[in-house]
Amino acid sequence: MIKIWLLTIGASILLTTCGYFKKSDTEPLLSSIDGEEYYNTIDGEMNTRKASLLILEGKADSVNFEVKIDILDSLETTDSIWRKRYLLTTNQLLSDLYEGNKQHIEQVLFAFLLHYPEELISHLNEDGFVIVDLWMNILGKALDNATQPKDITSLSVANAAIKNCFDCSKEKQELIVNFIKSLERFAKNQ
């Protein structure tokens, strides 16, 4: 019963944040990749960009496991267009990848939460909501591991994430704190 209650609270927080993380009018669409760039990527050797495009096109079977892990490891790229693509790709692969690589995936996604909290929360509201339980489970376990030393608290984790949320309003900062508190509650009830 407590799990259902916490899941409902977590889902409510995620759903109510839709208005806080609207896309800007100037954000490039994922489908607007330049034709020449697309063909150069698809025709080139296998790498994370090619693999990501193939997976997003429904051709995940043509990408080997190591490259799928490389996509996950590329989440924190400085290129915002490819970061969004890698996040969408990770969302599609997450349940398959998590089984054999729990600790690595927890660490990578937790680092992404700390460095790009606004993008991750927006993603969970838009594209990741279908598997929000899995995301909450992974991030909750990672938070629990990160707060094992007594001097690290969920509030210090939230403060670190807020420092990386540039130009965040007070509402977005509160949302990040509430999200991390929800992760903490979710992890305790697992």
Q: What is the pLDDT of residues 19-38, one digit of tens each?
A: 555 444 444 444 455 678 88
Q: How sure is the predictor about 152, in pLDDT bands with cuts at 50, 70 and 90?
A: very high
d(CA 174, CA 83): 24
d(CA 112, CA 105): 10
Judge whether 157 lies within some domain.
yes
71: phi then psi, degrees, rounded to nearest 5: -60, -45
How many domains in the chain?
A: 1
Judge whether 26 lies within some domain.
no
What integer pLDDT is reported at residue 173 of this predicted model? 93
Average pLDDT, rounded, for the chain:
85
What integer pLDDT is reported at residue 28 of this predicted model? 44
What integer pLDDT is reported at residue 15 of this predicted model? 52
d(CA 111, CA 161): 9
pLDDT at 97 > cutoff 60: yes
Domain of 84?
Answer: 2-20+33-188
Judge whether 82 lies within some domain.
yes
Judge whether 120 lies within some domain.
yes
Q: How sure is the predictor about 2, in pLDDT bands with cuts at 50, 70 and 90?
A: low
The three-class DSSP label of residue 19 is: helix
Q: What is the pTM of this model?
A: 0.79
Q: How sure is the predictor about 130, in pLDDT bands with cuts at 50, 70 and 90?
A: confident
Judge whether 28 lies within some domain.
no
Judge whether 27 lies within some domain.
no
Give me 83's structure tokens.
């970061």
d(CA 24, CA 40): 28
